[in-house]
């Protein structure tokens, strides 16, 4: 029976789905440190994490039998993807499942900051009745600047425009504009025209410190700033200076450079004393609907990979979408992308008079992945010969239905 370990309060649906598909499942509420993770992975075949648990080279080297990792979230920067691939560990995530949840929170933040709801709430809690429209605005007719026009940014664009906002966006890649959104040729042009600026960039290392003093300086007087992307993207000290000076009228931050590993741990930030500020504990995608959807999506990817060898939507393997086994045995062979591997495999099978029922090959970068359905069961000598082909990283033999 394969064993799965799920960390960080992954939705119970995932654990139940894996159990229903023959896995022994252990669940833990919080994230684990590097050494704790190594200990916990003893005998584990499949690991499920969210954003706080880091799977490093040290972890991968210590547990070479780990077969797959499911990131039950959008980001995968917490996993050393290249190294995992080279060691034969497939990684999957949920790139679309919580998009709507993040977008709705951004819309909520925009409205609340434009109406100065955090400031009014703070005053009311401290016994001050401040019935004033000063600094309070409708979002209709205002300009929203979206930095990063991927799945989240583009859907946000549609909803913001439906509320009557003018939408500008900036992305380093070519993106199709949704509705009447306008692509900006430079980041500074977007910042200088936007009443609200929201970040939706990915977790690549080059985005570290992407939005700092220079970028804040180019924002409009009285604009608001929102970051629900990555904690290391924005300079929060620079943000505080521009809030304190009155240059910016408010901000919402959901992600931080350093975050606690589990619920209940202490947390502090200098932004806490700002007047028109929304601080949330990395909950952009944390709705029950999104977490259930993520649990369903990622657990299915892990199940399909374990039993079928399917790598559909893997972030570090060549992608093969595979159906049911069309032979008696399925051979999944991950290897370095070298010439002649497929020919050597077929030669070995032919020498043993093993008929190939179906075969799929995919290559990506330094990796090649071939899945072969055969009508006869290879003996151990044949399996050994296949696994010793030059460049072999990992080979799995899967039984047919």
- Please give the chain's pLDDT, 401 residues, in tens: 999 999 999 999 999 999 999 999 999 998 999 999 999 999 999 999 998 999 999 999 999 999 999 999 988 989 999 999 999 999 999 988 899 999 999 999 999 999 999 999 999 999 999 999 999 999 999 999 999 999 999 999 999 999 999 999 999 999 999 999 999 999 999 999 999 999 999 888 889 999 999 999 999 999 999 999 999 999 999 999 999 999 999 999 999 999 988 888 999 999 999 999 999 999 999 999 999 999 999 999 999 999 999 999 999 999 999 988 877 899 999 999 999 999 999 999 999 999 999 999 999 999 999 999 998 889 999 999 999 999 999 999 997 65
Residue tagged active-site, from 11, 230, 301, 335: 230
Torsion angle (degrees, nearest 10) of CA 161, 163, 166, 171 = -50
CA angle 258, 259, 263 (to 5 degrees): 165
Phi, psi of 187 (to 5 degrees): -65, -40
Cα(141)–Cα(225) distance, rounded to whole angstroms? 17
380: how many CB neighbours lie within 10 A of its CB?
7
- Residue 3's nearest CA partner among 306, 333, 393 is 306
- Residue 135's nearest CA partner among 223, 205, 14, 65 is 223
Name all domains of the chain by residue range, CATH numbers in brackets.
1-97+287-316 (3.40.50.720), 99-279 (3.40.50.720), 323-401 (3.30.70.260)
In sequence order, what DSSP letters do the residues of 344-376 get, joined into one string?
HHHHHHHHTTPPEEEEEEEEETTEEEEEEEESS
Q: Is 335 a catalytic residue?
A: no
Cβ distance 282 to 254 under 8 Å? yes
Q: Is 8 a catalytic residue?
A: no
Q: Is 230 a catalytic residue?
A: yes
DSSP-based three-state secondary structure for 58? helix
Cβ distance 80 to 58 under 8 Å? no
Residue tagged active-site, from 24, 192, 259, 364: 259
pLDDT at 53: 95
Residue tagged active-site, from 116, 120, 282, 301: 282
DSSP-based three-state secondary structure for 57? helix
Cβ distance 306 to 45 under 8 Å? yes
pLDDT at 204: 83
Element (H, E) at 3: strand 3-6
Cβ distance 304 to 310 under 8 Å? yes
Q: What does DSSP assign to residue 314?
A: B
Cα(308)–Cα(160) distance, rounded to whole angstroms? 42
391: left (phi over 0), alpha (psi -120 to 50) or beta: left
Beta-carbon-side half-sphere exposure of residue 314 (alpha carbons within 13 Å)? 32
pLDDT at 401: 52
pLDDT at 205: 84
């Amino acid at each position: 029976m394969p064993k799965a370990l799920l960390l960080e309060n992954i939705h119970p649906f995932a654990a139940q789905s894996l159990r229903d598909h023959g896995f022994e499942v252990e669940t833990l509420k919080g994230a684990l440190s590097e050494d704790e993770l190594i200990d916990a992975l003893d005998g584990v075949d499949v690991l499920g994490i969210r954003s706080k648990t880091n799977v490093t080279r040290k972890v991968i080297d210590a547990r070479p039998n780990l077969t797959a990792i499911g990131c039950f979230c959008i980001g995968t920067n917490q996993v050393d993807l290249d190294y995992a691939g080279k060691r034969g560990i497939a990684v999957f995530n949920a790139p679309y499942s919580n998009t709507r949840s993040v977008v709705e929170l951004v819309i909520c933040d925009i409205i609340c900051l434009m109406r100065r709801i955090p400031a009014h709430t703070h005053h009311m809690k401290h016994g001050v009745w401040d019935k004033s429209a000063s600094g309070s605005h409708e979002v209709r007719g205002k300009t929203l600047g979206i930095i990063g026009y991927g799945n989240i940014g583009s859907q946000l664009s549609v909803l913001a425009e439906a509320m009557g906002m003018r939408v500008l966006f900036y992305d380093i890649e070519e993106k199709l504009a949704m509705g009447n959104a306008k692509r900006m040729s430079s980041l500074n042009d977007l910042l200088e025209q936007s009443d609200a600026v929201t970040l939706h960039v990915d977790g690549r290392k080059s985005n570290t410190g992407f939005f700092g003093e220079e970028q804040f300086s180019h924002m409009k007087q009285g604009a608001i700033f929102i970051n629900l992307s990555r904690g290391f993207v924005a300079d929060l000290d620079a943000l505080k200076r521009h809030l304190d000076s009155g240059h910016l009228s408010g901000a919402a931050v959901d992600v931080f450079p350093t975050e606690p590993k589990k619920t209940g741990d202490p947390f502090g930030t200098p932004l806490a004393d700002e007047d028109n500020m929304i601080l949330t504990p990395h909950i952009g995608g944390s709705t029950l609907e999104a977490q259930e959807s993520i649990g369903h999506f990622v657990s299915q990817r892990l199940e399909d990979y374990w039993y079928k060898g399917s790598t559909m939507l893997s972030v570090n393997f060549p992608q093969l979408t595979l159906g049911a086994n069309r032979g008696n045995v399925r051979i999944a062979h991950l290897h370095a992308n070298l010439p002649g591997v497929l020919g050597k495999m077929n030669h070995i099978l032919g020498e043993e008079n093993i008929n190939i029922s179906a075969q799929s090959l995919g290559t990506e970068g330094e990796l090649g992945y071939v899945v072969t359905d055969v009508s006869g069961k290879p003996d151990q000598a044949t399996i050994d010969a296949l696994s010793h082909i030059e460049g072999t990283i990992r080979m799995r033999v899967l039984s047919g239905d």
